[in-house]
Amino acid sequence: MQIIKDKQIIDDSWNYIIDDADLEPGDISVSLARWKKDKQQLLEREGKLGVRMGPADSVEDFAADLKDLQLIELDFPAFADGRIFSHAWLLRGRYNYQGEIRATGHYLPDQVFYLSRVGVNAFSPEKTEDLPVTLANLDDFSVKYQTSIN
């Protein structure tokens, strides 16, 4: 599966492990709930770790753990759920998170310019056909009125 990271199309090395499945080797991400439950077990294994959070989760809730995480996935259940944009801003702007922030789920290729401005630097497309338009849309605007992350 290919994704966009830092404006490049690359092969994705990460696997998302659903809540009741066994952990796999390699780079994996898990839900925030699972992270909280199995933190110790997760930290003891080899490979990078990521957490997938949804709009109803709170960044503040696991801010202390950010140092152990190389990836935060912001998962859109529906494109209109704009809480994700504030979560991204909080991760970068308030907690100074330096790892990868990736948009997943049902967002629109038309939202990626805004997402990149609030600090999202990777995009997992809903459909592979969306990759070119997603990449192009990162350059929708060359000017901006507000300070944000980018």
Partner 1 sequence: MYQYNQNDQTLIEQRVAQFRRQTERFLKGDISADQFRALRLRNGVYIQTHAPMLRIAGPYGILSSRQLRKLAHIARKYDKGYCHFTTRQNIQFNWPKLEKIPDILEELASVQMHAIQTSGNCMRNTTSDHLAGVCIDELEDPRPYCEIIRQWTTLHPEFDYLPRKFKIAVSGALHDRAATQFHDIGLHLVKNDAGQIGFKVLAGGGLGRTPVIGQVIRPYLEKKHLLSYLEAVLRIYNLYGRRDNMYKARIKILLKESGLEKFTQSVEKEWLLIKDGRELSDERIAAMQTQFARPPYESDAGQDNSFALRQQENKAFATWVKHNTADHRVSGYRAAFLSLKAPDSPPGDMTDTQLDAVADLADQYSFGEIRSTHRQNLIFADVKQADLFPLWRQLDALKLATPNIGTVTDMICCPGLDFCSLANAGSIGVAKEINEALDDMDYIHDIGDVKINMSGCMNGCAHQSVGHIGILGVDKKGAEWYQLTLGGSSENEAAIGERLGPAVAKDQVTKAVTTILDVYVQQRLEDESFLDMVKRVGITPFKEQVYADN
**Quick one: CA dihedral 54, 102, 113, 58, positive or negative?**
positive
Nearest by Cα to 49 from 64, 33, 35: 35
Strands (E), 42-134: 49-53, 71-76, 100-105, 122-123
Q: Does 132 sit near partner 1 (CB under 8 A)? A: no
Q: Does 145 sit near partner 1 (CB under 8 A)? A: yes
Among 35, 85, 97, 123, binds partner 1 (CB under 8 A): 85
Token readout for 61 is 């809730």
User: Binding pattern to partner 1, positions 18-57, x when CB under 8 A?
Assistant: -------------------------------------x--
Task: Please answer whether residues 90 and 59 qualify as being in contact, where contact means their C-beta atoms are separated by less than 8 angstroms.
Answer: yes
Among 1, 110, 128, 132, binds partner 1 (CB under 8 A): 110
CA distance 61 to 137: 32
Shortest gap between Cβ of 57 and partner 1 (angstroms)? 11
Strands (E), 1-150: 2-5, 8-11, 14-16, 27-31, 49-53, 71-76, 100-105, 122-123
Shortest gap between Cβ of 90 and partner 1 (angstroms)? 8
In this chain, which stretch among 14-22, 28-36, 38-46, 141-149 interacts with partner 1, using CB under 8 A?
A: 141-149
Q: Does 79 sit near partner 1 (CB under 8 A)? A: yes
Residues in touch with partner 1 (CB under 8 A): 55, 79-83, 85-86, 89, 94, 108, 110-111, 113-115, 117-118, 133, 140-148
